[in-house]
Structure 1
Amino acid sequence: MSNQAERLHEIGKLYCDRGDYSLALPNLQEAAALMLAEKKFDGFLKATQMVLRIHAEREEHEEINKIKESLHDLVIREGLELNAKTYYILGTCAVYKGQADSAEAYFKKSLEISLKDDHKENICHAILGLSIAYRMQQKYELALKEIYNLNIFLQVLDIPELRIASANSNARILMDLKKFEQALDVLWGAYEEVKTIKNLGISIYLMANIGIVLFELGQKDAAKIYLNLAAKSIDPSSNNFLLKNVKNYLEQLDNNGGSDTDLVFDLENHAIIERSLGKIDFKNQFILLDLLKLFISNKGQIFSKEYLVEHVWKQDYNPDVHDNKIYVTIKRLRKMIEPDYDKPKYIFRAKNGYYLNKSAKVELSESRAEGAL
């Protein structure tokens, strides 16, 4: 790429990863135009692929058709050869339009070229695409087979984004098969990895899928937290396709009397979900879990330091030993569950001890779905 085009492409990609398509699109379009003018077709295709993806997520199908026509003209006029990634993106566009057969054909073409070039990452993308197309066609056995093949590659290739995308696709297949507990297990595994990447779009899809599975499992409060997190993270001008799906589930929750719970403690699975923070991993910190359970079970009740030591630590209270320990433990708990540590909304200090804010919207959930939270 020329320096200017490369700079525009990188800026566009950064905005795209952040989910800000309104800023990404003009940069990518200008980069593509510069590359085309210089007949640097590899760079042109890279920028065009991202432009196509943005239009797909915005459901701007007319714009996609215009680009497809221009690509067809370039193939005839300039002898341009579309690469594997371009066919993959065209397949993705077909997915967003609900054209499963066309998507399958594009993904198979992408796989054919990728195998010929022995390009492992492109092979993975094509396989992922095929799993999605087969799911759309309700060919679940084939879809799961492609997920298996993809995961074999990902044991060798370190591509976190693809592993998370694979988990999302796998979970959607399992959801179609009504295997919601298995789907949630897959998504929780990806949830840990999503913290290591900077691609907001993938993170949003993951949150949305977690919310949908929780909804199907009947865990309405937890579902609402994740779906609201996803909805708030989506730029309405960027991903209309996903936003409509998320809002559909939120409307169902509202119509069914979904509550506005801020904090959910799943007793069976010892898990916490906070409205703004999502799932909180306590990593076997049982003292913190027991402390929080005590507060939630007795909202508004003040617990003295003596009581906390005797009932949480199971020890005899000694101020020289325990006062600092209690202070540090409460501080750790606040840092984990408070969206704003400096402005706590849950754990408060009283003259004689600590208590959970009486007006806090919290819930103890007795889930019956193994591994659901």
Structure 2
Amino acid sequence: MGKMLAERGDFLEAESLLEPLANDYLEDKNYQQFIEVESVLLRIYGELERFDKINAAKERLQDLVIRSEFQLNSRMYYVLGVCAALKEQTDVAHEYFQQALKLGLDTNIKKDICHAIYGMAWVYRMREQYDNALKEIYNLQVFFELIDIPDLKVSSLILNGNILRSMGKYDQALDVYWQAYDLVKESKHLYMYIRLLFSMGYTYLLQGETSMGKVYLNLAKRSIDPKNNIFMGNAIDRVMDKYADISESEFDLVLDEEAHQLLEKKKGKVDFKSQFILLDLLKLFMSQPGQVFSKEALVEKVWKQEYDPRVHDNKVYVTIKRLRKLIEPDYDRPKYIFRSKQGYYLNKSAKVMVHH
């Protein structure tokens, strides 16, 4: 019942039910059930920002270990890792999750292995070691082919999306969030739904799609109970406050997809009507500023053709040149479209916004 309340976002009521239950399990020395309940309570404490209770939980777990009343297993190390991660002690958390993974592999308990891998990915993201985080997510996906853990699968997809968002890969992040959304629809897990709304809204804002981002964030805001969802409520407020006063004048490039028009800070309006290839090329660049697109990738994504250097090399060169002439305030000194050895890209520092 307590876990169901937590899934629904009723953290205060869940806390009141689960804390006595955890104490009962501890008194009865039913340590396995105690750890399962404690794991749920830690998520609740994190959402309610009860850092004193997170500390108390960690001390209680460590006391169990010191008194040797409980044989250390993968699940225990995972819960200790969660305690450390919630306190942003990433080095300590990493050690605990590594130990959890080792014991999980030794005992071949796939559920424990999956939780440990998730913990590793979580810590790597906190450390901004995104490539390592994605490797752990991939490992987790392999295990999900062998075992079904619905809540962890959704959480891992949200984490995957968050990692991609941190890497500036907004389109990929949104694709992953939509995968998570399909699973949440089946599970009817309200809190996961709110997490998704927030993650998607934040990603749209970072992508420059301010209107869309605010829609999702407002939906997330309306879906929460401020008393029950303190952490998420604060996160939403911080993002909404940061982007509350954003106006188009703050952006270098503002694209109106429906009107086929671009607003460049110095040049003003640039019309892309009947110039569909140029528009698609610009949309691609604006979707991921700083992302280098090879000629092969451009041909595949913009022209929807298989790359042939005899056909496409000059076509790409000429099209890039035309795009520069349209959007660059000074064609001889480009500030937006650049070329590298690997391909072409939009200046990462360019502030862009896209209206769908």
- Give the TM-score range, shorter chain: 0.5 to 0.7
Any idea what SS the aligned residue of 2:67 has?
helix
Q: CA RMSD in A?
A: 2.3
CA pair 366-226 structure 1, distance change in 2 beyond 3 A: closer
Are 1:184 and 1:210, in contact at CA under 8 Å, matched by a contact in 2? yes
Q: Check the 8 A contact 1:212/1:249 in 2, yes or no.
A: yes
Task: Give 1:254-293 correspondences, 5 Å limit.
Answer: 254-256=244-246
- Structure 1 counterpart of 2:220, from 230, 238, 249: 230
- AA aligned to 1:221 is S
Correspondence for 2:167: 177
**2:141 pairs with 1:151:** yes
Amino acid at match of 2:228: S
Measured after TM superposition, the shift of residue 225 of structure 1 is: 1.5
SS for the counterpart of 2:187 is coil
Q: Residue 195 of structure 1: SS of its match in structure 2?
A: helix
Question: Against the structure 1 CA distance between its residues 78 and 88, is the aligned structure 2 distance closer, same or farther, given a 3 Å change threshold?
Answer: closer
Deviations 1:195-237 (A, max 9, x none): 0013222222111111111111111121111111222223323
**How many Å apart are 1:25 and its aligned residue?**
0.7
**Distance in 2, Cα, partners of 1:72 & 1:118:** 24
Counting matched residue pairs gives: 255
Question: Gaps (5+ residues) in structure 1?
Answer: 1-10, 259-264, 269-364, 368-373
Gaps of 5+ in 2: 249-255, 260-353
- TM-superposed CA distance for 1:168, in Å, is 1.1
Q: In the alignment, what sits opposite 2:32?
A: 42
- Against the structure 1 CA distance between its residues 163 and 40, is the aligned structure 2 distance closer, same or farther, given a 3 Å change threshold? closer
1:266: Cα distance to partner?
8.1
SS at match of 2:88: coil
What's the CA shift string for 1:177-198, capped at 9, x where partnerless? Answer: 1111111111122222210013
Matches within 5 A, 1:103-182: 103-182=93-172
TM-score (norm 2): 0.66
Tell me how far apart the structure 2 counterparts of residues 266 and 151 of structure 1 sit (CA, whole Å): 35
Deviation of 1:89 (Å): 2.9
Partner of 2:193: 203
**Which residue among 209, 215, 224 is the counterpart of 2:205?**
215
CA distance in structure 1 between the aligned counterparts of 2:172 and 2:147, rounded to whole angstroms:
24
* 1:157 positional shift: 2.4
* 1:247 alignment partner, one of 237, 241, 249: 237
Identity of aligned residues (%): 39
Deviation, 1:366, is 4.9
State the match for 1:98 in structure 2: 88
Aligned-partner Cα distance in 2 for 1:176–1:200: 24
User: Corresponding residue for 1:60?
Assistant: 50
CA contact (8 A) 2:160 2:176 kept: yes
- TM-score (normalised: structure 1): 0.63
- The change in CA–CA distance for 1:44 and 1:159 in structure 2 (over 3 A counts) is closer
Are the structure 2 counterparts of residues 183 and 247 from structure 1 closer, same or farther at C-alpha, using a change threshold of 3 Å?
A: same
Amino acid at match of 2:115: H
Partner residue in 2 for 1:20: 10
Q: Deviations over 1:260-313 (max 9, x none)?
A: xxxxx9869xxxxxxxxxxxxxxxxxxxxxxxxxxxxxxxxxxxxxxxxxxxxx
Instruction: Report the alpha carbon displacement of residue 98 of structure 1 after superposing the two structures with TM.
Output: 2.0
Is 1:59–1:96's contact at 8 Å kept on the other side of the alignment? no
